[in-house]
Amino acid sequence: MTIQQPTDLTPAAMLGLGVHRPERVVTNDEICEVLDSSDEWIQTRSGIRTRRFAGEGETLIGMSVTAAEKALAAAGVDAGQVGCVIVATSTHPEHTPASAPQVATALGINAAAFDISAGCAGFCHALNLAASMVRSGAESHVLVIGVEQLSRFMDPTDRGTAFIFADGAGAVVVGPSETAGIGPTAWGSDGSQAHVITQTPSCMGVREHTDADHPVVQMEGTAVFRWAPFAMAKVAHEALDLAGVSVDDLDAFIPHQANLRITQTLAKNIQLPDSVAVATDVVDSGNTSAASVPLAMEAMLRNDEAAVGDTALLIAFGAGLSYAGQVVTLPPLG
């Protein structure tokens, strides 16, 4: 399937994909050792059976480096060819320095590097930025990483979040291609709903109250469920229209892995044909926020639910509230 873009721009595509999944698998039964819940309740509400938490020695930067190394190898691109590194994350524990320069140095990349924070939509935001750099000729290759360690920013007794969030990293190399492999992005935000997904207490709250709790992520799950499957259906069709692709042209639908019920409702609202494979990595990996889309891409390729070169629709949404989506060609897997 040919993805449309202005003819005077350099076509951009994802040239390689790599991921890092922490070794520690956490079951619902383990979550319920602290949380007042049950495996049946969690699966009914979210579809999640297991998730992965970073181990004692696993850092956000280390997870990013591992995923990036695999993506670079899959793309056949070396560190010297990368002109920019973009890390999408909400869980780098320091406001400064950003994680991206440290990731770049660990990879032997001497280039521009910065973090972006767009919640669970971060990877798709970063992918748009990277594709724009390549299309314009500003950079030939850009490394995009989505990474989170949400297990370190959760209240294990919170029935709204404790069973949902998890850890992981996914990376892609974006570079020039003979044909466009990343369509124009449909994206936006709605700050009037900023209260729906938050960090509590704020950093100022911690400073003002030395006995304040460790900051944790909080979410109004019902509000997200009422918004995402319906608002994102419109965004999906906008992304398809921008790329000149119909739902019948799609091979795969890879949304942010927020909740299996949201994914199923969204797929229905988009009116996807039965021939389109739908990513359900949330069942085994939980909600990994900015890492969820690349992790879900990897799972589909690894499990032969989709193939390299297939046409896929990506949609992501989260804190902000922010959202983004684009039609892409699936890349080789490292």
pLDDT in tens, 65-104: 999 999 999 999 999 999 999 999 999 887 788 999 999 9
- Which CATH code for domain 12-176? 3.40.47.10
pLDDT one-digit tens code per residue, 45-69: 899 999 999 998 899 999 999 999 9
> Given a cut of 70, is residue 23 above it in pLDDT?
yes
For the segment 176-197, the average pLDDT, to the nearest whole number, is: 82
User: Which one of the listed residues 20, 84, 92, 120 is annotated catalytic?
Assistant: 120
User: Which one of the listed residues 20, 125, 141, 256 is annotated catalytic?
Assistant: 256
| Rounded CA separation 7/5 (Å) | 6
Does the annotation count 95 as an active-site position?
Answer: no
- Beta pairing, strands 84-88 & 112-116: parallel
pLDDT bracket for residue 220 (50, 70, 90): very low
Q: Quick one: pLDDT at residue 219? A: 52
Which amino acid, residue 149? Q
Give the angle subtended at the CA of 214 by the CAs of 210 and 215, to the nearest 5°. 115
**Model's pTM, two decimal places?**
0.91
* Residue 42 neighbours by CB under 8 Å, 6+ apart: 28, 31, 32, 48, 163
Give the angle subtended at the CA of 78 by the CAs of 72 and 84, to the nearest 5°. 80
Does the annotation count 128 as an active-site position?
Answer: no
Q: Break the chain into its structural domains and give their ranges.
A: 12-176, 186-330
Which amino acid, residue 159? R
Task: Check: CB of residue 146 under 8 Å from CB of residue 176.
Answer: no
Burial class (CB in 10 A: 0-12, 13-18, 19+), 150: buried
Sign of the alpha-carbon dihedral angle for 194, 196, 199, 200: positive
Does the annotation count 259 as an active-site position?
Answer: no
Which of the following CATH numbers is that of domain 186-330: 1.10.3720.10, 3.90.79.10, 3.40.47.10, 3.40.630.30?
Answer: 3.40.47.10
Total H helices, total E strands in the chain: 10, 14
pLDDT one-digit tens code per residue, 252-309: 999 999 999 999 999 999 999 999 999 999 999 999 999 999 999 999 999 999 999 9
| Rounded CA separation 164/138 (Å) | 39
| Rounded CA separation 38/19 (Å) | 30
Q: Quick one: pLDDT at residue 154? A: 83
Domain 186-330 in the same topology as domain 12-176: yes
- Residue 25 pairs in a beta bridge with 52
pLDDT bracket for residue 322 (50, 70, 90): confident
What H or E segment, with its residue span, contains residue 105?
Answer: helix 99-107
Q: Where are the alpha helices (DSSP H) in 117-196?
A: 122-136
Grouping H, G, I as helix, E, B as strand and the rest as coil, residue 212 is coil
What is each CA distance from 109 to 17, 66, 72, 82, 113, in whole angstroms?
Answer: 18, 14, 12, 7, 9
